[in-house]
């Protein structure tokens, strides 16, 4: 039986690996279908402390992996689809295969919800379509961009982008924002933001270099289509946490995020099971906050194991 199994190899998972490995717990880190997590799909990370010139997302994750491995973390590919946390010995299943552990750190991350329209995948990550203004906004200085969505994220992204971009067009499928009142009011009052209501984005159009140059939209009330020129398309229609295997086992909120115990960022309702990173955080979703939660979860796991001895 393992001391610690860590699910996920994003910032949270690797940081938990570094800490539990340095505590001589020889953690086993299980890698899902996106090794290195969301950051491996980002070109440059400029906001992770310690890298004044920024760092390539893939390189950052490779460094974290090496750091976790250096202290004795072990890695295995396995997509966990079912868990049994009913006994002190926790069992995790990946199809026919099973793993057993005394403690589990769940750091399975979340994926941005996408529109599923032509051009979106082709231009995603570096060619004009992105899901993170905090990460990529500065690359669109003095350019026109589009934000898709009507929630707090879309408003927050739009407001953030006004710092760099000449114009931000917010495209929303209804005639009213879902965002909190204060965010909506700020967004609607901003002189650089124009809102196009009742409209669905149907396609992202590419220029001759394969980079975004415009979107086509359809007005859902009168079915008219039109085109909006833009160099960047920021999709902010929510995130989908990777928490399916824990449904019915751990507490999830209405959006599927794992809910930690009160007075804790990382303790789940099952003793010895901890949550870290984007699968349990809909508010911040930053690499550094995920790393922080990974560290907290590792320290909690270490203390829990020490108490049991």
Half-sphere exposure of 288 (CA within 13 A, CB side): 9
230 tagged catalytic: no
Report the site for ligand NAP in 236-255 (rule: CB under 6 A): 237-239
Tell me: does residue 115 bind ligand NAP (CB under 6 A).
yes
Minimum CB–partner distance for residue 283 and ligand NAP (Å): 6
Binding segment for ligand NAP (CB under 6 A), chosen from 4-12, 43-51, 151-159, 301-309, is 151-159
Distance of closest approach, residue 144 Cβ to ligand NAP, in angstroms: 20
Q: Is 186 in the site for ligand NAP (CB under 6 A)?
A: no
Q: Which residue has the tokens 């599927």?
A: 256
Those residues whose C-beta lies under 8 Å from the C-beta of residue 146, and which sit 6 or more positions away, are 168, 169, 170, 171, 201, 215, 228, 230, 232, 233, 234
Decide: is 153 part of the binding site for ligand NAP (CB under 6 A): yes
Which residue is listed with tokens 């390189």?
59
For the bound state, the minimum distance from the C-beta of residue 153 to ligand NAP, rounded and expressed in Å, comes to 3
149 binds ligand NAP (CB under 6 A): yes
Helix (H, G, I), strand (E, B) or coil at 146: strand
Q: What is the DSSP letter of 263?
A: T
Nearer to ligand NAP, 106 or 159 (CB): 159
279 is catalytic: no
Q: Residue 228 CA to chain centroid, in angstroms?
A: 28
Options 152, 278, 281, 300; binder of ligand NAP; rule CB under 6 A: 152
| Residue among 242, 268, 269, 267 at smallest CA distance from 256 | 242
In DSSP terms, which residues pair with 205 in a beta bridge? 214
Q: Does 150 sit near ligand NAP (CB under 6 A)?
A: yes
Reduce the DSSP state of residue 132 to 3 states and report it: coil
Residue 282 CB, shortest distance to ligand NAP, in Å, is: 5
Which residues contact ligand NAP (rule: CB under 6 A)? 115, 149-154, 156, 173-174, 178, 237-239, 282
Residues taking part in catalysis? 132, 135-136
């Amino acid at each position: 039986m393992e001391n610690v199994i860590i699910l996920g190899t994003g910032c949270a998972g690797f940081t938990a690996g570094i800490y539990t490995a340095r505590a001589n717990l020889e953690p086993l880190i299980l890698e899902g279908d996106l090794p290195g997590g969301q950051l491996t799909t980002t070109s440059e990370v400029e906001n992770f402390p310690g890298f004044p010139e920024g760092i390539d997302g893939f390189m950052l994750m490779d460094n974290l992996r090496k750091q976790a491995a250096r202290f004795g973390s072990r890695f295995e590919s396995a997509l966990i689809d079912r868990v049994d946390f009913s006994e002190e010995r926790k069992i995790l299943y990946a199809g026919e295969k099973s793993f057993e552990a005394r403690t589990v750190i769940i750091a399975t991350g979340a994926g941005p919800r996408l529109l599923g329209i032509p051009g979106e995948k082709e231009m995603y990550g570096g060619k004009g379509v992105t899901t993170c203004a905090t990460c990529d906004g500065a690359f669109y200085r003095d350019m026109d961009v589009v934000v898709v969505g009507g929630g707090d994220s879309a408003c927050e992204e739009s407001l953030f982008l006004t710092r760099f971009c000449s114009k931000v067009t917010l495209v929303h499928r209804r005639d009213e924002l879902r965002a909190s009142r204060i965010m909506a009011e700020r967004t609607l009052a901003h002189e650089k933001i124009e809102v196009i209501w009742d409209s669905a984005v149907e396609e992202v159009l590419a220029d001759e270099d394969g980079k975004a140059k415009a979107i086509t939209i359809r007005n859902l009330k009168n079915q008219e289509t039109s085109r909006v020129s833009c160099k960047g398309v920021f999709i902010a229609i929510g995130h989908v946490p990777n928490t399916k295997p824990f449904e019915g086992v751990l507490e999830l909120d209405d959006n599927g995020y794992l809910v930690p115990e009160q007075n804790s960022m990382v303790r789940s309702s099952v003793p010895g099971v901890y949550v870290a990173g984007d699968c349990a955080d809909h508010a911040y979703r930053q690499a550094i906050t995920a790393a922080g939660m990974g560290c907290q979860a590792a320290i909690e796991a270490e203390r829990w194991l020490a108490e049991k001895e």
